[in-house]
Structure 1
């Protein structure tokens, strides 16, 4: 340790949190609730990516797109509304209104009232126990702290494709301001990247009037999800009119055209706008982390307790690199803040076994636990039970029968290993399985629970029932038949 790094005898704060997104807000909240002296530092907007450029605006956009689709699809249900007109500026204004309505939940005023000191500015480590906070007016403040949580989030990855800088590309962060002034959705839109962000935006903007081409280098969409789930979603996107090009690698830009290479050679895709959605990487530059020796190959290394190499500095959220989900960030924030404040008496190992994922397309794709591929990769023996929605009463009534509930159980018993759901309300339906797995319940317990009829969650029970039907005790059934035959005389 350098000689000029001297640990203070006294500290200004118990905890300093850098970053006011999901992970930072939860960390600061927990610290305030246990009456620790905590400072939350945010340089830009409280609420982080989720509120301002991620979850909230994207879901507002998806809602408008779903309404437009429902009106067009009304003929199928006996309701013909004729031609519809999408007021794109109004769509974007509504999106801003949604953000403004939710904004107070993440505001400086709310957190100040909770007991959090909120500092606006850029935080940079001076030494392992001191940060300097530079404000927009040029002034700065130094604070020492017993512990720190780095919750600086992530930023879009921009691939090194020839010509990309001159293409005028957008990202999931910049598209909102760019689209806000548009009279209509872009006529021709290309989205590079077939992960959750790319799929959600492709379907939404297609439904709002664009012709969207979705380009993915891998041979299918949603690589983290089950292949059959990706297949259903690909069919849904195609049915909406999205041109889906899997197995195509972006090789160069020629002005406002993307040249992608597939198995049949190069294809030229002209665009008015292109959104780059190939992934996100930890936001680590400019905070003094490199000088502390905490950055290795572009990442901040953390242990199972979310500690860095300096045991009083913790990491939570996207910057940790373990997951990139808002609820995952909040989940990590609990571990990071409790481990930071409870030292040296208690510590908790972060647990990701029951962390659900949801892609909010139509239908939604939700999962928790192991997939078939991940189970094989871990040499876990499993059995699969699948229930298709084309046999499900509520799906038939709603006219939304594309999808399924797939359950992985341990070979030879009904211990739950993982669940994937493809359905209109999969994000809500998966919660039952998260709770069941977290509490160590078996498949039979889900089957025993009373589910209201006809609700979408009843599909969970129907799927559990399929497990039992496939494993009927034939010997006992034969004995039972003989008994009932005998008692009839």
Structure 2
């Protein structure tokens, strides 16, 4: 059964029908033959007489006719503009034409937006994305330049701008101002109607050149203003006559390392400054150690559930110290990739110490011994990363309040065989560590202030993770607020977390508290305030990752808006290339397709929109789901938990977002990331051969589910008759 047609669809059809009727009548009544220069010259005297007898009626009729012609992009707008001058003179004619053309343009804009914007965006979303971004930033300047240069067709400007996110009010006001010079030229020419031999002769080459120069004026003014602002910004700092380096990078995490690597590869002289361990949080306290811990935890969980594989389940014997030794070994195995030796071998100068900006080109580097070195560079990249948030609750100084950075050392030195941890938070870090430690056999209590975990994910995704954590032994307290801490004064005394759930207050006993409430950018002690570099939650940058000083860039967690290692490396390419070659060409960061993975068991991997985000934006979407319990490889692996969920626009296979809850979801997501990046729809995924039996077939079967929903049901009875006829020989 076909779905009922929406009211908006009927309104669109009525609008198309009305427009078609008016256009047909326009040509059927021969009005197009009246809107020519010859016809205007022949009727000039009669029109002047009519205006003399009924000036308001003629002006109103002229205004309405002009609006209609402009709104429907009918031929004759240029002749009507000449008629404004010929009938009403320069003053009144310019006024009437200015308002009529702007109102007509607005109506054409609204009609095109209503009928074309969504279909075009569905079909050409990837191609339109950079245009929409540019219009969102400089839309008024674009439109003003197009209006000031009358060589651009009137109707085409209306159509193209309707496909962009520019507001209707901005479109109207800019059109009103921008078309005024061209309007005046044509209206003034109309006052000399008898001498005109053709419309094409109105814009002489000098006049056309003047209008084109006028169209460039907004951009020239913007560029001049930008240069003046930059001059004011830099004028208080003495510029070096020569520079020690091409580039100085502050911070040796993912963003800093990749930036320095690229600079050295293109033979720039680059210095990398790091005050802590090379590799940053990801290598030393984040991605690498946590995933090493998770791999051990997964094995422990499999041993407890060995009956799923036809084996005897058993409780693993936990030796926490040996597990953490393995974690340290894995960190040490990866460390050479980020080591000083490797980067010096690549041509990067690596300096250990605290870096501070003294001016836009000078960095002071203070070593552990207290000595200071000053270096200048044409460009500087700030890649200082982020650090865990550590709220100051009552009693927090008296308890072991750990973070994702300090938990490793505490666990390694803890004398308890199975220490009890209270994990605060419900985001990815909290869920990953809580589940992994519980799978290893530690008593874990997780406290979340809101009503569910993983707030960035859909509710059905969070529910799967919630259930998985509980099955692995995590005690979850939802809708629970932390009030503070108490500690037994005896040496090694237990910790009590004071909480409130609704109207009830409670006490949760543990040996330490792991605070996993998010991360914040490292902004202090780098000289940002002294230079006047604006910051909020992160360093403020433009689309090219520049701060207010064009030669100072920021990348990675400190620049935001994402806090992933892969986005830090992604931004590093833009920071390095723009810093070194920006005078030749700069590149805007492409943040359209950003994947994320939460490494719980099962994993959660997402790219693009979620259902909740689509609903918040008021977007109509179709949701296609494929449950993993229908996938052969998942069945034989006893990994049936989870699903694939894909969002598409109604009637289109274009992928707006995908979420996977499954073992190895992070690997499975890559196909959807690739498809979204390059504009491939579900139809292309369905038509791609996937090896059998693999988990990757889940992508193909999701596409098949989307296809199945579009089988033309009304044709199936006819196909049955056709096959019956074929059997009859």
Category of TM-score, reference length = shorter chain: over 0.9
Partner of 2:718: 479
Partner of 1:374: 613
Partner of 1:238: 470
Partner of 1:303: 542
Q: How does 1:339-350 map to 2 (within 5 A)?
A: 339-350=578-589
Q: 2:572 is paired with a residue of what secondary structure?
A: helix
Which structure is higher in RCO with an 8 Å CA cutoff and minimum separation 6? 1
Shift of 1:43: 0.7
- Whether the 8 Å contact between 2:427 and 2:517 is mirrored in structure 1 is yes
- Whether the 8 Å contact between 1:123 and 1:131 is mirrored in structure 2 is yes
Q: Which has the higher strand share?
A: 1
- Whether the 8 Å contact between 2:435 and 2:474 is mirrored in structure 1 is yes
Task: Give the gaps of 5 or more residues in structure 1.
Answer: none
Matches of 1:185 and 1:395, distance apart in 2: 36
Q: 1:2 to 1:307 in 2, by over 3 A?
A: closer
Partner of 1:405: 644
Partner of 2:57: none
Q: How does 1:191-230 map to 2 (within 5 A)?
A: 191-230=423-462
Partner of 1:53: 285
Q: 2:400 is paired with a residue of what secondary structure?
A: coil
- Whether the 8 Å contact between 1:407 and 1:419 is mirrored in structure 2 is yes
**Residue 395 (structure 2) pairs with residue 163 (structure 1):** yes
Matches of 1:417 and 1:2, distance apart in 2: 43
Which of 80, 88, 91 is the equivalent residue of 2:320? Answer: 88
**Residue 310 (structure 2) pairs with residue 78 (structure 1):** yes
**Residue 662 (structure 2) pairs with residue 423 (structure 1):** yes
- Whether the 8 Å contact between 1:152 and 1:283 is mirrored in structure 2 is yes
Which of 249, 253, 263 is the equivalent residue of 1:21? Answer: 253
Deviation per CA, 1:13-42: give whole Å up to 9, x if none.
111100000000000011111111111000
Q: 1:330 to 1:2 in 2, by over 3 A?
A: closer
Partner of 1:43: 275
Partner of 1:67: 299
Which of 563, 578, 584 is the equivalent residue of 1:324? Answer: 563
Partner of 2:11: none
Q: How does 1:223-302 map to 2 (within 5 A)?
A: 223-255=455-487, 256-263=495-502, 265-302=504-541
Q: 1:298 to 1:399 in 2, by over 3 A?
A: closer
Matches of 2:532 and 2:418, distance apart in 1: 45
Deviation per CA, 1:303-324: give whole Å up to 9, x if none.
1211111111111111112111
Matches of 1:3 and 1:446, distance apart in 2: 56
Shift of 1:475: 2.8
- Whether the 8 Å contact between 2:428 and 2:454 is mirrored in structure 1 is yes
Partner of 1:124: 356
Worse overlay, 371-380 or 125-134? 371-380
Q: 2:437 is paired with a residue of what secondary structure?
A: helix
Deviation per CA, 1:179-237: give whole Å up to 9, x if none.
11235554321000111100010011111121111111111111111211111010000
- Whether the 8 Å contact between 1:367 and 1:420 is mirrored in structure 2 is yes
Matches of 1:462 and 1:235, distance apart in 2: 26
Shift of 1:259: 1.6
Q: 2:483 is paired with a residue of what secondary structure?
A: strand
Shift of 1:437: 0.8
Matches of 1:259 and 1:229, distance apart in 2: 29
Partner of 1:188: 420
TM-score, with structure 2 as normaliser = 0.66
Matches of 2:262 and 2:616, distance apart in 1: 37
Partner of 2:628: 389
Shift of 1:299: 3.2
**Residue 678 (structure 2) pairs with residue 439 (structure 1):** yes
Partner of 1:456: 695
Q: 1:88 to 1:488 in 2, by over 3 A?
A: same
Largest Rg, 1 or 2: 2
- Whether the 8 Å contact between 1:226 and 1:420 is mirrored in structure 2 is no
Shift of 1:81: 5.5
Worse overlay, 214-223 or 260-269? 260-269
Shift of 1:295: 3.7
TM-score, with structure 1 as normaliser = 0.97
